[in-house]
Amino acid sequence: MTATQAHSPVRHDWTLQEARDLFALPFNDLLFRAQTVHRQHFDPNEVQVSTLLSIKTGACPEDCKYCPQSGHYNTGLEKEKLLEMERVMAEAKAAKDKGASRFCMGAAWRSPAEKDMPYVLDMVRQVKSLGLETCMTLGMLREDQAQALADAGLDYYNHNLDTSEKYYNHIITTRTYQDRLDTLENVRNAGMKVCCGGIMGMGEDLDDRAGLLVQLASLPQHPESVPVNMLVKVAGTPMEDVADLDPFEFVRTIAVARIMMPESHVRLSAGRETMNEQMQALCFLAGANSIFYGEKLLTTANPEADKDRALFRKLGIRPEQREQCRTEEQEVEAIADAVEYQQTRHLFYDASRESA
């Protein structure tokens, strides 16, 4: 593949062997191919920024072996009630002020209870009124629940497959792989965008990582957002002592995801706290173009927003902007950022301008 070829087609017929072959490419060849595909569909120096808030923490009835929120394990995490609207709105406003364009809200539920749905729907409407995109992860959804969320204006729904179907029962037994696929279908049929990915480093093998990506790329419509998480090992969970995944294997997974789902945002998600700047830069080069911004991912640490901004400056990366009405103050700040970028852009080489 060369940079002068037409856009990479969106395919839904990837085979496991094709995914294996991508993983087996020499590292530099794989990253070059992924970056070439990335530049065909996205600005290579823009990264979408989201903030995630836990709106209800702990005591989840599911037995996901990686999760500190599961009620099956003693991780020292205190159970919390559903957050008050005032707290959610304060967090959403703070996220927007720090540069987030999307606000994600997660609740530790198997599925939302009927008594909580009116409150959750109002939460969507209130956060959306700030001009932010909205995303939620609430567990499994019935058709009517998905439609209610869509009618309230929810933009994205997150529901990860976690791993391959083959390895799935090693991770969770309280819901099936098909349960997850059914929720994704309900979300898509309701008209919402899908956020769906998985977790690497849970003891899976290469075929499991490849199989997960094949499953995602085989969906009738690729997820608009594909979070690629590195396991965050938490004391008290069954996976607290699992062997670390080689960082290069994680970067390879990002690259293969980019190639197989060329129009999706590939999110560098949980686990960034343990990644140095050089590894994160490799992930961006491999095609990651979305991150969570801020101090926490539900219940585990995440690089602080100031550190993220500093890394963006070092790499010449800009937050992806959502088109929306801006206040006068935001307009002034945006102009200042644009001026700064123009003054420093000569420091950064744009490989897309190189002739073949």
Q: 33, 135, 258, 283: which is the annotated catalytic residue?
A: 135
Confidence (pLDDT) at 73? 57
Confidence (pLDDT) at 190? 96
- Band (pLDDT 50/70/90 cuts) for residue 234 is confident
Share of the chain above pLDDT 90, in %: 55
Domain 16-349 in CATH 3.20.20.70? The answer is: yes
pLDDT at 329 over 50: no
Q: 11, 33, 39, 67: which is the annotated catalytic residue?
A: 67
- In the annotated binding site for [2Fe-2S] cluster, the residues are 104, 135, 195, 267
**Nearest Cα to Cα of residue 162 among 65, 85, 233, 48:** 65
Please give the Cα distance from 253 to 210 (Å, whole number): 8
Confidence (pLDDT) at 52? 83
Confidence (pLDDT) at 64? 79
What's the token pair of residue 76? 């020292």
Please give the Cα distance from 316 to 217 (Å, whole number): 30
Confidence (pLDDT) at 178? 95
Mean pLDDT, residues 245-250 taken together? 96
Q: Is residue 143 within 8 Å of residue 189, measured between CB atoms?
A: yes
Mean pLDDT, residues 233-252 taken together? 89
Confidence (pLDDT) at 240? 82
Question: For the stretch 70-84, what's the b/e string if a residue is b when 16 or more beta carbons lie within 10 angstroms of its beta carbon?
Answer: beebebebeeeebbe
pLDDT tens by residue, 282-307: 999 999 999 877 544 334 444 556 78
Confidence (pLDDT) at 253? 98
pLDDT at 7 over 60: yes
Confidence (pLDDT) at 19? 98
pLDDT tens by residue, 253-274: 999 999 999 999 999 988 888 8
pLDDT tens by residue, 25-43: 999 999 999 999 999 999 9
Domain ranges within the chain, ordered by starting residue = 16-349
**Mean pLDDT for the chain?**
83
List of residues 6+ apart from 149 with CB closer than 8 A? 120, 121, 124, 136, 141, 157, 190, 192
Mean pLDDT, residues 210-229 taken together? 96
Is residue 267 among the annotated active site residues? yes
pLDDT tens by residue, 95-142: 888 878 888 888 878 888 899 899 999 999 999 999 999 999 898 999
The torsion angles phi and psi of 330, rounded to 5 degrees, stand at -65, -35
pTM beyond 0.85: no
pLDDT at 327 over 90: no
Is residue 135 among the annotated active site residues? yes
pLDDT tens by residue, 52-109: 888 766 667 777 777 776 656 555 555 566 788 888 899 899 888 887 888 888 887 8
- In the annotated binding site for [4Fe-4S] cluster, the residues are 60, 64, 67
Mean pLDDT, residues 226-236 taken together? 89
Is residue 325 among the annotated active site residues? no
- Band (pLDDT 50/70/90 cuts) for residue 339 is very low
Tell me the CA distances in angstroms from 204 to 36, 57, 208, 249, 307, one per residue in order: 28, 27, 6, 12, 31
- In the annotated binding site, the residues are 60, 64, 67, 104, 135, 195, 267
Is residue 196 among the annotated active site residues? no
Q: 33, 102, 180, 267: which is the annotated catalytic residue?
A: 267
pLDDT at 280 over 80: yes
Q: 33, 60, 252, 272: which is the annotated catalytic residue?
A: 60
Q: 33, 180, 195, 252: which is the annotated catalytic residue?
A: 195
Q: 102, 104, 196, 209: which is the annotated catalytic residue?
A: 104
Point out the least confidently predicted range of 6-10, 16-20, 42-46, 165-169.
6-10
Confidence (pLDDT) at 325? 34
Q: 33, 64, 175, 258: which is the annotated catalytic residue?
A: 64
Mind giving me the DSSP string for 29-64?
A: HHHHHHHHHHHHHS-TTEEEEEEEEEEE-S-BS---
Across the chain, which distance is largest between two alpha carbons, in Å?
A: 60
